[in-house]
Chains A and B, each alone.
Chain A
Amino acid sequence: MTDVTHGAPVTARRAFVSPATERRVVRIVLVLVAIAFLAIFLFLPLISVFYEAFRAGFSAFLRAVTERETASAIRLTLIVAAFSVPANLVFGVAAAWAIAKYEFKGKSLLITLIDLPFSISPVTSGLIYVLMFGAQGYIGPVLADHGIKIIFAVPGIVLATIFVTFPFIARELIPIMQAQGSQDEEAALSLGASGLKTFFRVTLPNVKWALLYGVLLCNARAMGEFGAVSVVSGHIRGKTNTMPLQVEILYNEYNYGAAFAVASLLALLALFTLIVKSVLEWRYADEIAATRRH
């Protein structure tokens, strides 16, 4: 690759090339190949979403996203996120506090178990709730006798979403809180602050950016989850369809324009998430667990 230039006219100022890098032409080729790969595999799909969404004009787009069933899908997606993100937030903070501030047996097992939902197929995540709460499930029939419906209803969608987004906030908080130790909290306590006051005035401000980072990723996944939700939802129009499910239904009805219109809203959410995430990474790199960038 870097054969010595034989017999090239020696110019007065030849740019110094460090022996620990490649020649300029190699570098340019590698950059171009990488960009071409990303352009085809990442940028093109993103562009195509917006292209297809606005192909029939802006008014068609507006009509599609304000259509009754789509509007109800948007509402349900917001409701599901409003339940699942706070639930995982409370869990993430509690788990991170216990894991980061104390030494106890079984800690590494606990950390491993928290990450477990990431290694399970979304479809399997939905399946386990069907086995649990479905009509033929372990406790589904008992609940049905009391008029409680979980599968093919909103509670099942919320549960499945909580499962697939389970680790996001905890895994952001645990490393950063472990790195920060507990000297600050000990100082606050010794100065007479109560436990809760210590948490809200000392711990929380120390981890706020990591917390926001985790909430952001958790929310993006909660609103965009498809596989797990698809298994437990039952696809009842206007009732148990979230936005990703609505995309599927419209697409399968060959209503491509409307499908891509709803998809473009989700793509906007993804772009928003990426932008905020990058800003957090650039500005507060030390205050978020940068070693575990997803």
Chain B
Amino acid sequence: MARATAFAFRKPSVLPGFGLTLGFAVAYLSLIVLVPLAGLVVKTASMGWPEFWSLATDPRTLAALRLSFGASAAAAAMNAVFGLLVAWVLVRYEFPGKRIIDAMVDLPFALPTAVAGIALTAIYAPNGWIGRYAAEAGVKIAYTPIGIFIALVFIGLPFIVRTVQPVLEDMDREVEEMAATLGANRLQTVVRIVLPTLAPALLTGFALAFARAVGEYGSVIFIAGNIPYVSEIAPLLIVIRLTEFNYAAATAIATVMLALSFVILLAINLLQAWSRRRLGHD
């Protein structure tokens, strides 16, 4: 019986170790990831709808969520433009130092977020290298939502570059040549041929950068100023609620963040599937 179900469950193979490796992988995954995450869901479910709703719609929570999602969307949009430009330049052009620049694009992945946070704060503080000139112009960057935006641009950049780059590398140049022979000028070719082909990758990169930015903590809290209702991001509010031992509120915010990110990622995935179909890719 056990043998028969095992047979239906997987195709036969001569290699040994299926039970051991899959069993270990699933057990480890459950212990480290699934059970603790289920704990969050159970905690939320045990709260009851009225309590959850009042915690989730608390004005300070709403302000933090609005800031987190808004700043993340703005930063991902900025990165969509400049990330595309960086990917384009790295794939299409030759220039000195290209390899080093290509490698450095991953710096935000490699640099610990706390290090990025204090470095950005030092630069954009009113006496910093850039903050000084901004202050002269009457703009305050650090300790305002603009600072949060800058930190989120920093951490999101590689997501766009690394999703667009391989697609751009694989792109068939003949299509562009054909457009040119048919009389399209370069701008028309780029806007009407190249960009639509890159759109799904760009959307994926946007989604990844956005999702990362929403949850980002380390690089933001130093530069944000953390003023409630003004520059307090949702992850920080979770930490604040935890230090107050208000676990219910912390859980509610975490659940709302997870749910919102999930809905947005789902929407972007659908949009992406639609743009693929419309363009007739696979």
Contacts and interface: CB of A to CB of B under 8 A. Distances in A.
Interface of A: 1-3, 18-23, 27, 30-31, 33-35, 37-38, 40-46, 48-49, 52, 90-91, 93-95, 97-99, 101-105, 110, 113-114, 116-117, 119-124, 127-132, 134, 136-138, 159, 162-163, 166, 182, 185-186, 189-190, 195, 198-199, 217, 220, 223-227, 230-231, 243-245, 247-248, 251, 256, 259-260, 263, 266-267, 270-271, 273-275, 277-278, 282, 291, 293-294
A22 B103 contact: no
Given A127-B250, A251-B222, A259 B15 contact: no
A209 B281 CA distance: 32
A230 to B, nearest CB: 7
B93 A27 contact: yes
A248 B107 CA distance: 20
A278 B239 CA distance: 36
B118 A132 contact: no
Given A91-B24, A127-B251, A162-B32, A244 B112 contact: yes
Given A21-B92, A244-B218, A267-B115, A274 B238 contact: no
Contacts of B48: none
Contacts of A136: 245, 247
A61 to B, nearest CB: 15
A84 to B, nearest CB: 10
A181 B257 CA distance: 39
A37 B86 contact: yes
What 10 pairs across the A-B complex have the smallest Cβ distances? A121-B215, A224-B112, A19-B180, A104-B10, A226-B218, A227-B217, A195-B16, A95-B25, A98-B22, A45-B119
Interface string B65-108: 00000000000000000100110111011010001011111111
B148 to A, nearest CB: 14
A227 B25 contact: no
B153 interface: yes
Nearest to B237: A123
Contacts, number: 297
A97 B186 CA distance: 48
| Most-contacted residue by chain B among A40, A102, A103, A259 (CB, 10 A) | A102
Contacts of B112: 223-226, 243-244, 247, 263, 266, 270
B224 interface: no
A190 B16 CA distance: 12
A49 B177 CA distance: 46
A134 B32 CA distance: 16
Contacts of A40: 130
A124 B40 contact: yes
28 contacts: A34-B85, A48-B123, A49-B119, A94-B21, A94-B24, A94-B25, A99-B25, A101-B13, A101-B18, A103-B11, A110-B26, A116-B37, A123-B238, A127-B40, A127-B242, A132-B39, A137-B39, A166-B32, A186-B14, A189-B14, A223-B112, A224-B114, A226-B114, A251-B118, A267-B111, A270-B110, A294-B106, A294-B162
Name the prevailing secondary structure of the B interface residues: helix
Nearest to B185: A2
Contacts of A278: 99, 102-103
A142 B176 CA distance: 67
B62 interface: no
Contacts of B196: none
A260 to B, nearest CB: 7
Contacts of B35: 132
